[in-house]
Amino acid sequence: MQQKIDNSIITVEKVSHAFGDKTVLDNINLSISKGEFVTILGPSGCGKTTLLRLIAGFLKASEGKITIAGNEMTQIPPHLRPVNTVFQKYALFPHLNVFNNIAFGLNLKKLPTEEIKKRVMQVLKMVGMTDYEERDVDSLSGGQQQRVAIARAIVNEPEVLLLDEPLAALDLKMRKDMQMEIKAMHKKLGISFLYVTHDQEEALTLSDTIVVMSEGKIQQIGTPTEIYNEPANAFVADFIGESNILNGTMLKDELVEFAGHTFECVDKGFKSSEAVDVVLRPEDIYIFEKTDVAQFSGQVTSCIFKGVHYEMMVTTPEDYEFMIQDYQSFVVGKTVGMRIKPNDIHVIRKERYFNSFEATVVDKLHIRFSGHSFKSFEAVKFEAGTKVTARINFENVTLDDNEENGMLRGVICFILYKGNHYHVTVRTENGDHFYVDTNDIWDYGDRVGIVINPELIEIETI
């Protein structure tokens, strides 16, 4: 990590925020340097917009400290903060024309009319909207409204420009053009940009630094290349770009086993036979006619032309599925050989190896955790009231279509395809997470019942 403290324009320290009893941000630490382009990237509902609103001042953090340009600003109202925001739906004032929309902030500062006119004309030129100053904002296209929204923010010369998914409402072509313009504008203005998006490609294109968020937590902070090439965990690997993510075992330093084969790799420092996640980018797997140089083989099950490359799904005899991208196509049904360079195998330490809950023994047959009393045959070994740890392997949790059939109810909040099965995260009503390995296909947001076989709950003393 670089030392950024001296140069930072915004620091967010230990910030947590909750709506009611739902925690949306959990202990966020972040620092933004002067002139840096930082993107907060994450799926919807990960807390990224909340974080931006905390910095803009529309929300007051429940816990933690926010410093902007050296001043503590955690509880300061938005009109006194040296930041300006570009809103997702532009939020242009419908009762004012383009000129007066842009001049809104300058008028409030009571600057001389000449100065206001000069500065408005300057930014209009910068966003390529000269001659539009008399226009009604409702008569502008989405892209033009977006330009006015940006002009209205930057004309105030903020220390930091906050952008809340500013391109989400535009079509693809327009979005690409605007991305380039925003990048050029950032270079020209020299101020910091804090950009919120759920579009990973946008984040990779624009940013100096990307902050990947999920479930109210920061998953990784790094440059686009770092995030893409060295994802910190399976979530980041899955969210940024396409990936094959598989369960593997680290046999010894620089030797990993996955998909039923052993591969040389470059990672070390793991315990012997430690369970790991292996990330393979689809463009890093070489595919060719089956020959002796192949490390493993498989059969092509689908082949789609994607413009520059072909995207193929290949199933190995061990029943693992790989996504492979190559300029060369192979027909469906063909047996092919594959090879992966040691450098292209990314080994990631697993965040957890099993479900683990703090539990209390209720009686000889039951233990209580996650707000529910579960039957467990191991409970007999402990006194009632003992505090213990309940451990359930991923494959021993069953999900039921019918919520009512489960001991607990939950919602599917993350799905990871592991080549031959799905690793599903279920969030229960009280906010606990259950991690499940399953062959069934679920969707995000599915409501499920959670069932655990009493024989398969292992109990350990703390």
87 is an interface residue for another protein by CB under 8 A: yes
Segment (H or E) for 108: helix 98-108
Residue with tokens 């030129």, as numbered in its chain: 125
Segment (H or E) for 228: helix 224-229
In three-state secondary structure terms, 327 is coil
Taking the C-alpha atoms of 397, 401, 407 and 409 in order, what is their torsion angle to the nearest 10 degrees?
A: 100
112 is an interface residue for another protein by CB under 8 A: no
Among 2, 21, 44, 95, binds another protein (CB under 8 A): 95
286 is an interface residue for another protein by CB under 8 A: no
Closer by beta carbon to another protein, 92 or else 221: 92
Q: How many CA atoms lie within 13 A of 130 on its CB side?
A: 6
Residue 127 C-beta: closest distance to another protein, Å: 16
Strand partners, 193: 37, 161
115 is an interface residue for another protein by CB under 8 A: no
Among 12, 30, 41, 56, binds another protein (CB under 8 A): 56
| 54-62, 111-119, 202-210, 323-331 -> range binding another protein (CB under 8 A) | 54-62
| Rounded Cα distance, 66 and 11, in Å | 6
Among 45, 78, 143, 337, binds another protein (CB under 8 A): 78
71 is an interface residue for another protein by CB under 8 A: no
Residue 437 C-beta: closest distance to another protein, Å: 43
Q: Tell me whether strands 37-41 and 209-214 are parallel, antiparallel or unpaired.
A: parallel
8 is an interface residue for another protein by CB under 8 A: no
| 103-111, 217-225, 348-356, 399-407 -> range binding another protein (CB under 8 A) | 103-111
Closer by beta carbon to another protein, 31 or else 84: 84
104 is an interface residue for another protein by CB under 8 A: yes
| Rounded Cα distance, 303 and 330, in Å | 7
110-117 contacts at long range (C-beta below 8 A, 24 or more positions apart): none
Nearest C-alpha neighbor of 351 from the set 234, 208, 204: 234
The site string for another protein over 148-187 (x = CB under 8 A, - otherwise) reads ----xx--x-------------------------------
110 is an interface residue for another protein by CB under 8 A: no
Among 31, 85, 144, 179, binds another protein (CB under 8 A): 85
What phi and psi, each to the nearest 5 degrees, are found at residue 72? Answer: -70, 125
| 34-42, 50-58, 137-145, 188-196 -> range binding another protein (CB under 8 A) | 50-58
In three-state secondary structure terms, 114 is helix
Among 7, 14, 29, 58, binds another protein (CB under 8 A): 58
Residue 187 C-beta: closest distance to another protein, Å: 24
Contact at 8 Å (CB) between 401 and 219? no
In three-state secondary structure terms, 123 is helix
What phi and psi, each to the nearest 5 degrees, are found at residue 248? Answer: -140, 175
Q: Which residues bind another protein (CB under 8 A)?
A: 56-58, 77-79, 83-85, 87, 89, 91-95, 104-105, 108-109, 152-153, 156
